[in-house]
Structure 1
């Protein structure tokens, strides 16, 4: 049994209000993206959002200090989930259709990361506040053993690691087989 799992928090800002026509493609793709994530090999759980159908929210949703309510709707695309391994998350993320189209809907903000990764003890469910704290750590301090990215990843023991590319491809094939069998 694994002693640690990988938590991931994603964050961005939309180019227009969530209900606008500009964001329609995102709204249309979102249910399928969540379904793809939920059935992916190595997926453990994800937080839902207060007041919405689906999984329970892991506490009140908060946003990082870099968030600006520039669209006036009080909303920003963010997710919080837990995975068995970094390779499982990479397979689901890099091969997911909706993830590859983010630039159509999100503001380009080169100094703000789009996600943060960190290890949690197996069975721990991070909340939104913990996730934002890790995101801000990455934004303020760069990749470290508490808050990192795929490009500069760390193992649970704090040692720098490179994800296993062959394992990522194998998991992606497993995920595609699952999708094909539905």
Structure 2
């Protein structure tokens, strides 16, 4: 199984806002790095192919979305926490409003499956309503999610 992720957030300003210079200035570089990482499968992109910043969360056009698929949790983890991405991630509160509920979720997908925004929204809504489960989980639940997957595939 592959691992899908989605995270949403309301940016604090547009590309011309000085507070956002580091975020927008690194967006293309970080996205290109993701695509070169071992284990990368797919990422949501807008019509420019550059990023998904022009795409919005279903039901909330003010919410930006990032979604990708990876061959494994380890591959995603290497990208998120062991590349330049970690520097931007560590500063997320400089660029995005602080969420009042979970804004990130992981779930398993069959190889070759490309999730839709509606599917991602359903997974995040499930996670918000029910907590971690086989349907949707967070970083802290990854070991248990791997066990669920092993039992399901056995």
Give the alignment's TM-score, normalised by structure 1.
0.69
1:45·1:82 contact (CA, 8 Å) conserved in 2? Answer: yes
Q: Deviations over 1:1-21 (max 9, x none)?
A: xxx100011111122345422
2:49 is matched with 53
Structure (1 or 2) with the larger CA radius of gyration: 1
Helix, strand or coil: the match of 2:45?
coil
Unaligned runs of 5+ in 2: none
Higher relative helix content: 2
Q: Name segments (4+ residues, structure 1) moved above 6 Å.
A: none
The offset of 1:100, in angstroms, is: 2.2
Q: What is the TM-score when the length of structure 2 is the normalising length?
A: 0.81
Q: 1:145 to 1:81 in 2, by over 3 A?
A: same
Aligned to 1:107: 97
Asked if 1:63 corresponds to 2:57, the answer is yes
Paired residues, number: 145
**CA-CA distance at 1:144 after TM superposition:** 1.1
Q: Aligned-pair RMSD on alpha carbons?
A: 2.5
Partner SS for 1:132: helix
- Give the gaps of 5 or more residues in structure 1: 68-73, 161-182
SS at match of 2:136: coil
- Which is richer in strand? 2
